[in-house]
Copies of this chain bind each other. A is one copy, B any other.
């Protein structure tokens, strides 16, 4: 083996929120820590771009109450947040018609409202019995993990409209259909967010606030603090390990350290060549913890014209590539900015030009022809990224939690695991990423001082 280029106490693989939080924590405790990042930027699944002169988040965007880890970080770094625009009436395009609604869930008819209320009640009751830390030991784990969210909706005889609404919820939350996600994962995920309302709401929920300058700013500031300890353009290909430490090989560089934190999505662990190979449970998990797929776009208009009509800008749709929008608009008098989510399967294969056309056509159907005349447009197809393609988070299929869950963050020799998928609270969110980084840093610190 060649001489390592760098030696450190700890090497962190991945400069997303989990990896940077871990490195920051370890560095503050005096442990020499190096972060290797495969992309040409830090931030992982956060990435801030600009349209019409306004910073917009192509990846993770929102923060909300009870997300204490990320909120504390935001406060420490002196980063400003602002509430999302949530006043006005929302719209749903459903079975060919556009209707208005208030609040998080549309009221399609009094009967449908009763059914939706019942399903939400059952879902909230069910998630309370799931154990966050070791969901495979929950009293109902075996049953819930053999079914998908769709199977569960069938089993409780949800109406077709409730199915449709839960499908939109599933898409925006996990980037997959209800038929692709384990009911045990769905229930645990809702619980990790503090319940269904907390998960889905703007006001008082996970979408309440966003940062003024863009969310990547948080990562950029953490990276700035860490200085030349963060190395970008260094995709890690191999981790050689034994009880004495690790040698991490990236393109054009090796790092020798006593311990490593793999702060990457579980599915992306399969992209690394571990030598010696990991226990079979570990390897099996990597092949069965896929990322969902979700695209995101922003459209800028001269003004937020929808507000004039008393609309919130929030919408849902049961067809077309755009199935959900929000008003991202930063300030009164500035440009109007619409943020939206797209289905990867039909959207990603299109050319950039076709993608923009389809988005504008979809928005036109919901918000009227003014939507056809933007001043700027940008989108991001996360499922065509090189690192852990997909997003926003794992869409865990049936069987994975009960069969492989115990391997999700179990340290293997000097190898520790972080990433929002490994968090016990706000799994899948920025907050979960920060928590997971701190938890892994605490594991490491205990070993280094022990």
Chain A interfacial positions (CB closer than 8 Å to B): 38, 146, 148, 150, 179-180, 235, 237, 251, 267, 270-281, 283-284, 287-288, 290-291, 293, 344-345, 348-349, 381, 383-386, 389-390, 397-399, 403
B386 touches A280 (CB 8 A): no
Q: Which single member of B150, B280, B386 contacts A389 (CB below 8 Å)?
A: B280
8 A-B contacts, Cβ less than 8 Å apart?
A146-B148, A146-B150, A237-B273, A274-B386, A278-B384, A279-B349, A283-B384, A287-B390
Please tell me if the beta carbons of A390 and B180 are within 8 angstroms of each other in the complex.
no
Other A-B pairs beyond A38-B273, A283-B384, A397-B399, 12, CB < 8 Å = A146-B148, A270-B270, A274-B386, A275-B386, A277-B389, A278-B389, A280-B344, A280-B349, A280-B384, A281-B348, A281-B349, A287-B390
For A394, the closest partner residue in chain B by CB is B287
Q: How far is the CA of A235 from the CA of B397 in the complex (A)?
A: 30
CB < 8 Å neighbour of A283 from B148, B150, B288, B390: B390
Bound CA span A288–B180, Å: 10
Bound complex: CA A180 to CA B400 (Å) = 9
C-alpha spacing A436/B384, complex, angstroms: 26
Please give the distance in Å from A413's CB to the nearest CB on chain B. Answer: 14
- Cβ A273 vs Cβ B235 within 8 A: yes
Chain B residues closer than 8 Å to A146, beta-carbon distance = 148, 150, 179
Considering only CB atoms, which chain B residue lies closest to A295 in the complex?
B280
Given A273-B235, A386-B274, A403-B345, answer yes or no on A290-B280 (Cβ-Cβ < 8 Å): no
Alpha-carbon gap, A399 to B272, bound state (A)? 26
Contact call A267/B287, Cβ cutoff below 8 A: yes
Q: Complex formed: what's the CA distance from A196 to B384 in Å?
A: 39
A273 to chain B, nearest CB (A): 6
- Bound Cα distance from A338 to B179, whole angstroms: 43
Contacts of A290 in B (CB 8 A): 284, 287-288
Chain B contacts of A267 at CB under 8 A?
Answer: 270, 287
CB-nearest residue of chain B to A151: B146
Q: Are A180 and B399 in contact (CB under 8 A)?
A: yes
Does B271 contact A273, Cβ atoms closer than 8 Å? Answer: yes
Contacts of A383 in B (CB 8 A): 280, 283-284
* A399/B179 in contact, CB under 8 A: yes
Q: Which of A179, A278, A385 has the most CB of B within 10 A?
A: A179
